[in-house]
């Protein structure tokens, strides 16, 4: 009797971690009415942030990566969220949602809106199951505490912060004692590595990009996912053709054009991101008889305008400096927003 052949999945070289609300989905929950409307939406009624689905599909195309989603949406929405991702052609490997019913029943009211005590242990537990040499790219938004949580997670795994500082940060973030214990125990199980390459923050609330300078160059605030695709191309995650595919979806479904996208390109260059090295490859992908954008160009001279805008920048600013993050001084970033969108 012969054994059944088994093909084990390829260990992921890269892990892409996404939030959902305001990062992948265009979600409004700043009022009770908006929250109820969001909860009652069917899968087909939910709208993705332009370019998000296309970007994920291109990142997953190589077959050696994982998509891990950690969302503050309630567990009761798993079916509709899974269906929405399926409709968008997005295949995920992990989907973790927040069990707020349990929090209510246990009287853990601070946990209903708190994100540090929820997301941080989930990220650490997922990392413990990952290959030690796998790289990570994280996606969040400026509506809550994603830049803070993701940066803290990255520095914990790399052991750039010590236990006393982490304890003080968690206590100041009003994390419940049992969640602190869970976080510290999980942290101990993870081998030392430095996997987090980029942290993208979707500027849903149009927070000025300079606000995130305190987190160092690893955190890249973006106004749209074309910008994320450009940085990921510079980092070697995407080809020029794949970046163009993201642009095509944004043009065809969300009213973008190459002039607005070239403005996005310029914005990254002004911030000192390494765009010069991708400009030539992207220009080639946009030109020629086989170019994907031939059928959707808004004006005949759009490519010339794109190239001219890039050339007009002249000398590129130096990239932002690498810095240690002082998490204790940034505790306010970790706190939930009030109803007016301000931190408590």
Q: What is the pLDDT of residues 233-242, one digit of tens each?
A: 999 999 988 9
Bridge partners, residue 128, by sequence: none
Q: What is the pLDDT of residue 308?
A: 66
**Residues 6 or more apart from 300 whose CB is under 8 A from it?**
none
Give the tokens for residue 341.
Answer: 């969108």
Compute CA distances 329 → 22, 60, 115, 217, whole Å: 26, 37, 18, 18
Structure-model confidence comparison of residues 298 and 252, the more confident one: 252
Please report which confidence band the pLDDT of residue 272 belongs to, taking 50, 70 and 90 as the band edges.
confident
The stretch 163-179 carries a mean pLDDT of 95
Environment class of residue 160 by beta-carbon count within 10 Å: exposed (0-12), middle (13-18) or buried (19+)? middle
**Res 280: pLDDT:** 77
Q: Given 3.40.50.1000, 2.40.110.10, 3.40.50.720, 3.40.109.10, which CATH number is that of 14-221?
A: 3.40.50.1000
What integer pLDDT is reported at residue 285 of this predicted model? 73
Q: How far apart are CA 90 and CA 230, in angstroms?
A: 20
Q: Which two structure tokens, joined as six digits, stand for 70? A: 């950690």
Determine which helix (DSSP H) or strand (DSSP E) holds 34, and give its type and residue range.
helix 32-40
| Band of residue 263 on the pLDDT scale cut at 50, 70, 90 | confident
Spans of all domains in the chain: 14-221, 240-311
Helix (H, G, I), strand (E, B) or coil at 89: coil
- The CA distance from 339 to 344, in Å, is 9
CA 296 – CA 23 distance, rounded (Å): 26
At 251, which helix (H) or strand (E)?
helix 240-254
Lowest mean pLDDT among 108-112, 234-238, 310-314: 310-314
> Diameter of the chain by CA atoms?
71
Distances (CA, A) of 231 to 84, 191, 236: 27, 28, 9
Residue 143: CA atoms inside 13 Å, Cβ hemisphere, count? Answer: 23
Which of these ranges, 57-71, 74-88, 108-122, 289-303, has the smallest mean pLDDT?
A: 289-303
Using DSSP, state whether 302 is helix, strand or coil.
helix
* Residue among 60, 65, 62 nearest 131 (CA): 65
**What is the residue-averaged pLDDT of the chain?**
85
Place of tokens 């989603």: 69
Which residue pairs, CB below 8 angstroms and at least 24 apart, start in 156-163?
A: 156/124, 156/187, 157/124, 157/127, 157/190, 157/192, 157/193, 157/194, 157/195, 157/196, 158/192, 158/193, 158/194, 158/195, 158/196, 159/192, 160/324, 161/327
Phi, psi of 68 (to 5 degrees): -115, 120
In which element (H, E) is residue 15 found?
Answer: strand 14-18
- Strands 94-98, 135-141: pairing kind: unpaired
Given a contact cutoff of 8 angstroms between Cβ atoms, the answer to whether 68 and 25 are in contact is no
The torsion angles phi and psi of 307, rounded to 5 degrees, stand at -65, -40
Q: What global pTM score does this model have? A: 0.89
């Amino acid at each position: 009797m012969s054994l059944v052949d088994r093909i084990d999945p390829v260990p992921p070289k890269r892990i892409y971690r996404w939030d959902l609300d305001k990062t992948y989905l265009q979600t409004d929950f700043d009022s009770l009415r908006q929250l109820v409307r969001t909860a009652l939406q069917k899968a087909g009624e939910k709208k993705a942030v332009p370019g998000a689905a296309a970007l994920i599909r291109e990142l997953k195309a190589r077959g050696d990566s994982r998509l891990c989603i950690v969302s503050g949406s309630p567990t009761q929405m798993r079916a509709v969220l899974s269906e929405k991702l399926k409709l968008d052609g997005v295949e995920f490997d992990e989907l973790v949602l927040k069990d707020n019913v349990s929090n209510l029943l246990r009287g853990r009211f601070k946990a209903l809106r708190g994100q540090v005590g929820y997301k941080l242990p989930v990220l650490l537990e997922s990392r413990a199951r990952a290959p030690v040499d796998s790289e990570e790219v994280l996606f969040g938004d400026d509506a809550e505490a994603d830049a803070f949580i993701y940066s803290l997670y990255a520095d914990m795994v790399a052991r750039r912060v010590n236990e006393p500082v982490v304890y003080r940060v968690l206590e100041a973030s009003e994390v419940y004692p049992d969640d602190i214990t869970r976080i510290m125990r999980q942290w101990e199980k993870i081998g030392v590595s430095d996997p987090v390459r980029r942290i993208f923050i979707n500027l849903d609330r149009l927070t000025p990009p300079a606000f995130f300078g305190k987190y160092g160059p690893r955190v890249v605030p973006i106004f749209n996912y074309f910008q994320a695709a450009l940085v990921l191309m510079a980092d070697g995650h995407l080809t020029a053709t794949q970046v163009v595919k993201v642009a095509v979806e944004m043009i065809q479904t969300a009213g973008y054009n190459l002039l607005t996208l070239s403005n996005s390109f310029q914005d990254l260059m002004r911030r000192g991101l390494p765009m010069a090295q991708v400009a030539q490859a992207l220009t080639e992908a946009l030109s020629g008889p086989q170019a994907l954008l031939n059928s959707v160009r808004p004006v005949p001279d759009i490519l010339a305008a794109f190239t001219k805008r890039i050339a007009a920048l002249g000398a590129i600013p130096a990239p932002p400096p690498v810095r240690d993050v002082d998490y204790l001084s940034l505790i306010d970033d970790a706190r939930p927003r009030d109803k007016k969108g301000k931190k408590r």
